[in-house]
Amino acid sequence: MAGKFKFTFGPWNIHQGADPFGPAVRKDIEFGKKIKMYKKLGFDGVQFHDDDAVPDMNSLTAEQVIAKAKKLKKVLDGEGLTAEFVAPRLWEDARTIDGGYTNNDPKCRKYAIERSKRAIDIADALGTNLIVLWLAREGTYIRESKDSKVAVDRLASAISTMLDYHPNIRIAIEAKPNEPMDHTYIPTIGHAIGLGLLTSDASRVGCVIESAHAILAGLDPSDEMGYALAHKKLWSVHLNDQNGLKFDQDKSFGSVDLRRAFNQVRILDKHDYGKDGQWVGLDVKTMRTQKDDVAAKHLSNSREIFLKLLKLSRSLSETKVESLIAQRDYEELDLLIMKHLLR
Ligand code: XLS
Ligand code: MG
């Protein structure tokens, strides 16, 4: 039934429940145990932050980082898992307090670039050529603290340096309008694709769309996906859900707005997303209230909802849809979709 679709999530999606107002409420699950959970939950691929793959990487030499990543590749092979991408974690180190590539301090910008090169080495060792850039702190709390034109120049130059560092890597930019920053420089997929055009090799820069990030920008995720698909730049998706304009909730896919989720599945399926090897990523977190032994259900549930919506999308009568479009009877089309979702 899944057909061409294959699924990934990141180890951070099995989470201890800490939030800005309270500590962890569930026991930590060591990485090795998490890896063993993937297949059981219906997933074949792993999304990585660089330091999920190689913990404490800042205290290791480049050679040591590569050696550790190669060991991990063997573990993944042993479990029959594939690494989807590696994302440099540029938002926790003290040198990234005011951003990585757009930091006002040249020493901090240098750190961000060096760290990104290590992330590329890790991706190479794990057998993937996809780097995801979630530009977490590339923005401001107050507009006057950075020059937005210079910031975009710096982002383009950092990405070019990464592209030049490795001839085969591809970079997928993950847009998000806010959180942790008040405003970021790459809030939407249009911005991400535009930024790619300013780099040394635009053909190797694409994007990843996270549903909640599009919703936080006041946009419909399926329209963002359509935009990226038209540009042939949709290289990954992070499906989840979001209840309005608040903090990034990473709710289970479809749990807030089934119709919005339906339209995401529909546009992906209609335009053969996945035919060039793209994965369906889930970037979901379970509720803080969930107890230890049932704290991974959000992952299998999100996958299950994707597949149910896929079935619904494929069973929708295209003839009826086309005829209502031809008559411009969108009220009837609206009802058709609602009834179909209620079947
Ligand atoms: C955070 C992002 C993060 C990326 C990978 O909001 O979604 O999880 O997907 O760095
Ligand atoms: Mg994400």
- Is residue 329 included in any domain, yes or no? no
* Nearest-atom index, ligand 1, CA of 87: 10
Of all residues in the chain, the percent with pLDDT exceeding 70 is 99
HSE-CB at 156 with a 13 A cutoff on CA atoms is: 17
Cα 149 to middle of ligand 1, angstroms: 25
- Is residue 2 included in any domain, yes or no? no
- Is residue 332 included in any domain, yes or no? no
Cα 164 to middle of ligand 2, angstroms: 25
Cα 106 to middle of ligand 2, angstroms: 28
Cβ atoms of 11 and 45 closer than 8 Å = no
- Is residue 188 included in any domain, yes or no? yes
| Alpha-carbon span 123 to 125, nearest angstrom | 5
**Confidence band, pLDDT 50/70/90 cuts, at residue 267:** very high
Mean pLDDT of the region 124-144? 98
| Alpha-carbon span 160 to 220, nearest angstrom | 30
- Residue-number span of the structural domain to which 46 is assigned: 7-316
**Confidence band, pLDDT 50/70/90 cuts, at residue 4:** confident
Q: What is the pLDDT of residues 139-163, one digit of tens each?
A: 999 999 999 999 999 999 999 999 9
Convert 265-299 to b/e letters by CB count within 10 Å (16 or more is b): bbbbbeeebbeeebbbbbbbbbebebeeeebbebb
Given this model, what pLDDT does residue 230 score?
Answer: 98
Q: What is the pLDDT of residues 187-205, one digit of tens each?
A: 999 999 999 999 999 999 9
- Is residue 303 included in any domain, yes or no? yes
In eight-state DSSP terms, residue 94 is G
Domain count across the chain: 1
Active site residue 15: no
Instruction: Indicate which CATH number applies to the domain containing 101.
Output: 3.20.20.150
- Is residue 323 included in any domain, yes or no? no
For the cut 90, the answer to whether the pLDDT of residue 73 exceeds it is yes
- Is residue 89 included in any domain, yes or no? yes
3-class secondary-structure state, position 144: helix
For the cut 50, the answer to whether the pLDDT of residue 63 exceeds it is yes
**Confidence band, pLDDT 50/70/90 cuts, at residue 212:** very high
Given this model, what pLDDT does residue 336 score?
Answer: 98
DSSP characters for 19-86? BTTB---S----HHHHHHHHHHHT--EEEEEHHHHSTTGGGS-HHHHHHHHHHHHHHHHHHT-EEEEE
- What are the backbone angles phi and psi of residue 125, rounded to the nearest 5°? -70, -30
Given this model, what pLDDT does residue 160 score?
Answer: 99
Mean pLDDT of the region 182-186? 98
Pocket of ligand 1 (CB under 6 A): 49, 87, 132, 134, 174, 176, 210, 238, 248, 283
Per the prediction, the chain carries an average pLDDT of 97
pTM: 0.97
Q: What is the pLDDT of residues 215-239, one digit of tens each?
A: 999 999 999 999 999 999 999 999 9
> What tokens appear for 34 in the block?
């998490």
Given this model, what pLDDT does residue 197 score?
Answer: 98
Cβ atoms of 273 and 1 closer than 8 Å = no
- Is residue 328 included in any domain, yes or no? no
Given this model, what pLDDT does residue 105 score?
Answer: 98
**Confidence band, pLDDT 50/70/90 cuts, at residue 1:** very low
* Nearest-atom index, ligand 1, CA of 47: 5
Active site residue 340: no
Given this model, what pLDDT does residue 3 score?
Answer: 64
Name which residue sits closest to atom 1 of ligand 1, judged by CA: 134
Q: What is the pLDDT of residues 270-293, one digit of tens each?
A: 999 999 999 999 999 999 999 999
Q: Within its chain, how far is the Cα of 216 from the centroid?
A: 14
